[in-house]
Each structure stands twice: as C-alpha cells, then as structure tokens.
Amino acid sequence: MSLPNCPECHSEYVYEDGILLVCPECAYEWNPAEAKEDEGVIAIDANGNKLADGDTVSLIKDLKVKGAPKDLKQGTRVKNIRIVEGDHNIDCKIDGFGAMKLKSEFVKKL
Ligand SMILES: [Zn+2]
C-alpha cells in the first residue's frame, strides 16, 4: 500500500498515525478519507483539462439560458468558477446574467 504525497509540500515521506496521515517535513496532518471526498468533485473541460475553483474559462458554444432574454455567446469569459457536484458542475457568475450553473464540457480553460 502506498501513501499519497503531502498535499502541502508534496513530500514523499508521509506516514500513518492512527486515522491521520502526517508529513514529517512540514508537520501537516490530514485525514485521507476526507481528501478522497474532495477528489469526487471533478470537472473536465472540452479539451480534457481538469478545472479547479478560481479558474477562468470561456464558452465553446452558444448556450440557451432558461428565463434569460438572450443566449450566452460562444467565447464569453467566465471568471472565478467554482466546481460543484452534479450534472451542471460549474457554479459561476456571468456579467449580465448573474449566478449560473454550467456544464464543464461546454467550456475551455483559459
Ligand atoms: Zn508536507
């Protein structure tokens, strides 16, 4: 069984202490069960790149928005996205539209 590298300093010398993992180099301790849950929320863009909270993306196609008077145009920049669980896995705010949820397959990372 191999242990993951330290999420803080990427040290390989992580050891187990009960249910926690401990890094001897930066003294970071964490619960690997919780870390795994975080990895459950994954968003992949149209080019196969992994997206993360705070990324800026642009739309790769026009998208209809329920209840909005106009479509979201291809190329629209979306700043500071947040990855969430679900079918529409990007939470964001778009100028002129407000809070919005998008599918990661319809965007690309900038
Ligand atoms: Zn460390």
* Ligand 1 centroid to residue 48 C-alpha, Å: 29
How confident is the model over 25-82, as pLDDT tens digits? 999 999 987 755 555 678 999 999 999 999 999 999 999 988 888 899 999 999 999 9
- pLDDT of 34 reads 75
Rounded-to-integer distance, Cα 57 and Cα 38, Å: 21
**pLDDT score of 20 more than 70:** yes
**71, 65 in Cβ contact below 8 A?**
yes
Question: Is 105 strand, coil or helix?
Answer: helix
For the whole prediction, is pTM greater than 0.85?
no
Residue 6 DSSP symbol: P
Containing 38, the helix (H) or strand (E) segment is: helix 32-39
Whole-number Å distance, alpha carbon 55 to ligand 1 midpoint, is 25
10: CA distance to ligand 1 center in Å?
6
